Amino acid sequence: MRIPAHSVCTAIRDDIIAGVYERGARLTEEVLARRYGVSRVPVREALRTLEAEGFVVTRRHAGACVAEPTEQEAADLLEMRALLEPLAAARAAQRRTEAHLKVLRGLVRLGQERTRRGSSDDLRSLGSWFHETLAQSSGSPSLVAMLTQLRHKIAWMYAVEVPAAPHESWAEHGAIVDAVTRGDAERARALTALHAERTTSAHRLRFPGGSQDRVRTSQPPVNMTGQRL
């Protein structure tokens, strides 16, 4: 497999997330360079970036290895997401463009249409696209970068169950877009916080030895008295 040198980091990260390289596995520059069809220089740079992101650790006498995050580290990711996604939604209500709204509305229509038809094949990818667009609508590159990194690490550490009632999830997405459209930052924040809290329980740790119970965060439930989705 030969890929552009600037894409080596993405390729290695994707393979780590997909489980091609197991937790704790050694990542040798020579082997990686041969696998991706590049020199060792971009591989070395990619490993530095992935170490900064938390996917890779450098061990004495072993070199670069896939990280082995603890259950607490994994749970922290969901708590950070529960804090940052509502912030992004509030910022989106203040800074979104018409182009952002057009994409968000289109995704909600597609998600609701797929749900009515009972077609769940691409609902997960549509949901990811929705949240990525919502983050981009915040107009904050640093916030977008943090949420993107969180999504990558959550996808690596967790398997997500298919929602038992996907129509409820897409109704929540629609309510968030309505609040963003009206410029109601506080309602957009509150609805997104409730959505994040609800979806957290669908996450299960992937790695061996991890708790098989549904993950719970220390975040108290959001008081949504009087709010309807």
Q: Is domain 5-66 classified as CATH 1.10.10.10? A: yes
Reported as a single tens digit per residue, the pLDDT across 31-68 is: 999 999 999 999 999 999 999 999 999 998 889 999 99
Split at pLDDT 50, 70, 90, the class of 214 is very low
Query: What pLDDT, on a 0 to 100 scale, did the predictor assign at position 118?
Result: 78
Residue 128 has φ and ψ, to the nearest 5°, of -65, -45
Query: Any idea where the domains of the chain sit in the sequence?
Result: 5-66, 71-205
Q: Pairing mode, if any, of strands 158-160 and 63-66?
A: unpaired
The CATH H-level superfamily of 71-205 is GntR ligand-binding domain-like (1.20.120.530)
At 169, is the secondary structure helix, strand, or coil? helix
| pLDDT above 90 (res 211) | no
Can you tell me which residue has the tokens 């603890």? Answer: 70
Instruction: Decide: helix, strand or coil at residue 13.
Output: helix
Give whole-number Cα distances, 91 to 11, 94, 138, 189, in Å: 31, 5, 5, 9
Cα angle value 39/40/44 (rounded, 5°): 135
Pairing of strands 56-59, 158-160: unpaired
Tell me what pLDDT residue 208 has.
54
Tokens of 25: 């596995």
To the question of pTM greater than 0.85 for the whole model, the response is: no
What mean pLDDT, rounded, does the chain reach? 88
Q: What is the pLDDT of residues 36-45, one digit of tens each?
A: 999 999 999 9
Q: What is the C-alpha separation between 147 and 150, in angstroms, rounded?
A: 5
> What is the distance between the alpha carbons of residues 71 and 74, in angstroms, rounded to a whole number?
5
Phi, psi of 30 (to 5 degrees): -65, -45
Instruction: Tell me the mean pLDDT in the region 6-12.
Output: 93
